[in-house]
A and B are shown apart, each in its own frame.
Chain A
């Protein structure tokens, strides 16, 4: 009798094609031109970035495009020290929630250009754009955010976004 087989490896792969839809297409076609486009809800007036087609709070269609700044405030963050499958960044790296000036909720992105242990809540940051010739239609058009050099935002200025 041979040893019982207790386990086999069966790798799983999943490939998919995403239809971006109208609102996201607007965002993606703008970001390759170095513009960040969101949409304003006609009821609650909140600006969502990336642009989306309906307001998750009011449930109404959003059609008004709003271009927001490529500067913003880091509200909170994580310093990642743990390796994992599929990781592309060198450890440690910092990612966080950034509320762009003119937007009403944060996006998640990398924070570089500052030692990880000096990153802080309220840090003012600016987008570092990828070169136009290699810029993808993705939030990855922004390589990462770096400190803008402005004074930190006070806690009260961003606490509603936590």
Chain B
């Protein structure tokens, strides 16, 4: 509880206020609010189709919200132009649900790709090579550098995708279902890796997941996204022992 208080006192690096998003008649987000503090692991859980992925995509400008403000490191991303948004995005790492590795590129090229617009990789080939190797090493896959994504297993793809997001040393990490589609052992490895990364790079992480085990292990705080709003906020322990019927039903279902 002491650590919880400390986290709440830290600087807010990401804030969402009254976020609304609909697709036709389907109101997905209905005034969602959240705050991510520096160094915090915030888990957002919700049923399938509850708008978790829509929300996380709004955070990086991949989707435009209908209403509401999103502040990332004191900048309202809804008011940024394309160039300013690109600069801000270099401070945000995004791990996609399906890894989203570039099929036509080797692992090395996948990792070099985000560097293209932030460093001159042709002039600085040696240090780029070293950076790619070090980052791959931090996810335990330095030996895959010249492989194609099609030659990697699901867990390895997820690790390489993680390395790709880490190469720009982001301050905020967004994870969209980091353990989905993986077997329990690989899921555990990914969760441990996420914890290592947080310690090593001192990142603030927003994790969207269905995986209750993942939430239990990694979360400092949790938000339950129900009916498009931040229905409940608290620690895993607080929420999993709640007497609220909706929260109870949610945990019963998942546990």
Q: Do A and B bind each other?
A: no
Residues of B near any A CB (own CB < 8 A): none
Q: Which A residues are closer than 8 A to B by beta carbons?
A: none
